Structure 1
Amino acid sequence: MSVRFDALSSDVSRETLLTLEEFSALLLKWNAKINLVARSQVSDIWTRHVLDSLQLLPHIPDHCDTLTDIGSGGGFPGIVIAIAVKLQRPNMRIQLVESDQRKAAFLRTAARTFDLNVEVFAERIADTTAIKAQCVTARALAPLTDLLGFATQLLESSGVAIFPKGQSAQAEVATARESWQFSCDATVSQTDPAAQILVIKDISRA
């Protein structure tokens, strides 16, 4: 694959983009053996997964020194974020929670290959030993109501949850408000105009 300088990646260094290309190649190599991304999405991995993960960066608070990504799977967005912040925010700790042992092995390989400040927890989210973070991310993992429960477990009280959601985003927000109180800023996704990025704070049971 050659590096693609899309609008979303215009603020990312060439070195970072090259590393992201190398990560994508590593993922495709592993994907032949374990299902990290759907086979139907392999040809569009850059837009569908890499750029979709990169667009979360501006929503990460400046004071964040620990970020936890849950259900990390093939490393989206956790590994992509770790690669993107490596040069500018080298002290940011990235925790990846992934219960599938094979996927966790891939995540550890990626972290080691690209010398990332990443720790992988091959555990169920409910049982994880990850420390509380200032930011939590999750992509294509669970309904928002469930994600808010995970967030209260994993976030510091002043933390921020960043959840990209598809076209059902606002319906999920409405359903979640039946059992949770929270503030929510929604931004239209740059990779899919029907999708949204939800930035959620002040989460508590209704």
Structure 2
Amino acid sequence: MFHVKREGPIDMSEALRHRLDRFAAILTRWNARINLVSPRDLPHLWDRHIADSLQLAALVPPGARLADLGSGGGFPGLIIAIATNADVTLIESDQRKAAFLREAARAAGARVTVLARRIEDIDIPPVQVVTARALAALPQLLEWSSRLLAPDGFCLFLKGRNVDDELTSAAADWHMAVSRLPSRTNADGTILKLGEITRVRHSERATGS
């Protein structure tokens, strides 16, 4: 385990609220054409998606470079970029969703790079933080993330009620330092911070050590 300092919520200044409002307006328009969030979630966009993603923004070190996996509707990567002005690479293989991310980033004044390619095909300089939300089970996330992280980097993943099962499954193939924080927006949610990620050696599997 390693310690995660629980920062307070991101200061919702008038300027930040305005930028997030512009993002939300664009997402609402685009959602009529492509499935960015469930239509029934639109009335709860702030609580279920924006506020959920903002939890991670408070955990991003100043000056860190980030990669966000499967960015989709911009959660959490684009929201983090808007809130922190961090340098974020958004990875989204769907060309239409990638086009949305570019337009939303321009409107909200976020400094991002959008890569419309499969995660497996990405080749970028190592980053300090990898993020993801509602994308894949933890073993797959670690497979993708491990080759993108700098040696001292870590992952921030928003997870649901199956987090214990996912951690158990991932431990068969990965060593990692794990810290957990309860979600402030989802009673069943957990924020995972995972660092010191290394693959389990074959000899360890054979001996069960």
Q: TM-score, normalised by structure 2?
A: 0.88
Q: Deviations over 1:16-66 (max 9, x none)?
A: 0121111111101000000011112111111000000001112212351x1
Deviation, 1:126, is: 0.5
1:188 corresponds to 2:182 = yes
Query: What residue is the counterpart of 1:132 in the other structure?
Result: 126
Q: Classify the secondary structure of the residue corresponding to 2:155.
A: strand
Q: CA separation of 1:10/1:176 partners in 2, compared to 1, >3 Å: closer, same or farther?
A: closer
Query: What residue is the counterpart of 2:161 in the other structure?
Result: 167
Greater Rg by CA: 2
Task: Name the aligned partner's letter for residue 171 of structure 2.
Answer: R
> Which of 120, 142, 147 is equivalent to 2:114?
120
Task: Name the aligned partner's letter for residue 15 of structure 1.
Answer: A
CA distance, structure 2, for counterparts of residue 31 and residue 42 of structure 1 = 9
> Counterparts of 1:44-193 in structure 2 under 5 Å?
44-62=44-62, 64=64, 66-86=65-85, 92-193=86-187
Q: Structure 1 residue runs of 4+, over 3 Å off? A: none
Q: CA separation of 1:79/1:32 partners in 2, compared to 1, >3 Å: closer, same or farther?
A: same
Q: Classify the secondary structure of the residue corresponding to 2:88.
A: strand
Q: Deviations over 1:82-104 (max 9, x none)?
A: 11013xxxxx3110000000000
CA distance, structure 2, for counterparts of residue 98 and residue 192 of structure 1 = 25
Which stretches in structure 2 are left out of the alignment for 5+ residues? Answer: 1-7, 201-209
Q: CA separation of 1:10/1:161 partners in 2, compared to 1, >3 Å: closer, same or farther?
A: closer
Q: Deviations over 1:101-122 (max 9, x none)?
A: 0000000111222232110000
Deviation, 1:129, is: 2.9
1:39 corresponds to 2:39 = yes
CA distance, structure 2, for counterparts of residue 19 and residue 28 of structure 1 = 14
Deviation, 1:131, is: 2.5
Task: Name the aligned partner's letter for residue 77 of structure 1.
Answer: P
1:59 touches 1:199 (CA, 8 Å); kept in 2?
A: no
Q: Deviations over 1:166-191 (max 9, x none)?
A: 01112111111011100110000000
Q: TM-score, normalised by structure 1?
A: 0.90
CA distance, structure 1, for counterparts of residue 149 and residue 9 of structure 2 = 28
Identity over the aligned pairs, expressed in percent?
Answer: 43
1:121 touches 1:130 (CA, 8 Å); kept in 2?
A: no
Which stretches in structure 1 are left out of the alignment for 5+ residues? Answer: 1-7, 87-91
